[in-house]
């Protein structure tokens, strides 16, 4: 059964230079119990997609399409109805714990906030549950640390606190937005291990540029380039037999595969090129790639790609 179904989603930001088309005609499905990894270079629209699901984008964002959560169109809900779902049904581990945590509230109070709102517990009971959650995410001396402030936590501890906040009310679906960014290697491994445990019991959208983490945690992979999905499939298939030249380029940039950089840079999301958006950086580019925008093609039931080579 599908827990999230995104249909023809478009999200854009008006600017003086023009409309920034951060997400274009996105179609994506996440099944119950599935962890979908969303990978791609910085600025390709990954975070915007996650924030659109949560309805946390700025008010002037131009959004069209549909996002169904358990059959309910989130984009059709009033803000009050959406607020009831955030935290309780839909959890999000926000990017950059340093700026996402409130510096003037103790970590325990920030975890307890959602518990009080959605579960109706008293402050004392909510604080006790917050301490239990900190223990669950492997924060030592949780009772003491829950009374401390974000600046008293290390980067890894703040990330774990963000996970505790997202899981406080046992949501069915969790979005993890670049949760390993800026962490040292040892701390990163601990956070990835913790998220892998979370993914065993929750449906998850794991947004990352860390391909190794995606391979370890995810069941399926969606590759995003210049605001659109260019490849989707079973994690083993995508990593062992990538179909899109961009996916191949991402994998070849890994140290163990030669550290080969993709030439050029992504196109501007304000002035997107016609035809294939990857054509200027693609070694396989043909004349038709400049003329026609490729459609998503189903190669098998577990693998799709947006590339003219598979017509």
User: Which of 190, 188, 4 shows the shortest CA–CA distance to 92?
Assistant: 4
Which CATH homologous superfamily contains domain 2-89+171-310? P-loop containing nucleotide triphosphate hydrolases (3.40.50.300)
pLDDT at 166: 94
8 phi/psi in degrees, rounded to 5: 50, 50
The C-alpha R_g of the chain, in whole angstroms, comes to: 20
Give 239-250 as a DSSP string. Answer: HHS--SHHHHHH
Q: Percent of the chain beyond pLDDT 90? A: 87
> Looking at the chain, which runs of residues are DSSP E strands?
2-15, 18-31, 35-39, 62-69, 72-73, 90-93, 173-177, 203-208, 220-225, 228-234, 296-300, 303-306
For the stretch 7-57, pLDDT in tens is 999 999 999 999 999 999 999 999 999 999 999 999 999 999 999 999 999
- Sequence ranges of the domains in the chain: 2-89+171-310
User: Looking at residues 197-203, what average pLDDT do you find?
Assistant: 93
Q: What is the 3-state secondary structure (H, E, C) of 46-84?
A: HHHHHHHHHCCCCCCCEEEEEEEECCEEHHHCCHHHHHH
Residue 58 makes CB contacts below 8 A (sequence gap 6+) with: 13
Burial class (CB in 10 A: 0-12, 13-18, 19+), 81: exposed
pTM of model > 0.85: yes
The overall average pLDDT reported for the chain is 94
d(CA 180, CA 208): 8
For the stretch 93-149, pLDDT in tens is 988 888 889 999 999 999 999 999 899 899 999 999 999 999 999 999 999 999 999
User: Looking at residues 183-210, what average pLDDT do you find?
Assistant: 92
């Amino acid at each position: 059964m599908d827990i999230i179904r995104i249909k023809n989603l478009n999200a854009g930001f008006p600017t003086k230079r023009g409309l920034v088309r951060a997400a274009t005609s996105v179609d994506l499905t996440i099944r119950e119990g599935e962890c979908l990894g969303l990978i791609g270079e910085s600025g390709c629209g990954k975070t915007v997609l996650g924030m659109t699901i949560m309805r946390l984008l700025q008010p002037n964002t131009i959004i069209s399409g549909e996002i169904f959560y358990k059959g309910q169109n989130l984009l059709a809900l009033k803000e009050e109805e959406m607020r009831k779902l955030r935290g309780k049904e839909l959890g999000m581990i926000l990017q950059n714990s340093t700026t996402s945590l409130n510096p003037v509230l103790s970590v325990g109070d920030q975890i307890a906030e959602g518990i009080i709102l959605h579960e109706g517990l008293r402050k004392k009971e909510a604080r006790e549950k917050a301490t239990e959650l900190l223990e669950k995410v492997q924060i030592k001396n949780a009772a003491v640390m829950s009374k401390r402030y974000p600046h008293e936590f290390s980067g890894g501890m703040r990330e774990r606190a963000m996970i505790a906040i997202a899981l406080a009310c046992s949501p069915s679906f969790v979005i993890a937005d670049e949760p390993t960014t800026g962490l040292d290697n040892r701390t990163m491994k601990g956070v990835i291990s913790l998220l892998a445990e979370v993914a065993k019991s929750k449906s998850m959208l794991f947004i990352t540029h860390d391909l190794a983490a995606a391979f370890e945690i995810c069941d399926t992979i969606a590759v995003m380039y210049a605001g659109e999905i260019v490849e989707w499939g079973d994690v083993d298939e995508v990593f062992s037999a990538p179909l899109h030249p961009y996916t191949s380029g991402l994998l070849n940039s890994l140290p163990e595969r030669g550290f080969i950089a993709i030439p050029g840079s992504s196109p501007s999301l304000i002035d997107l090129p016609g035809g294939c958006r990857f054509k200027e950086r693609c070694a396989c580019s043909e004349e038709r790639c400049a003329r026609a925008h490729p459609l998503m093609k189903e190669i098998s039931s577990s693998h799709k790609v947006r590339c003219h080579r598979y017509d």
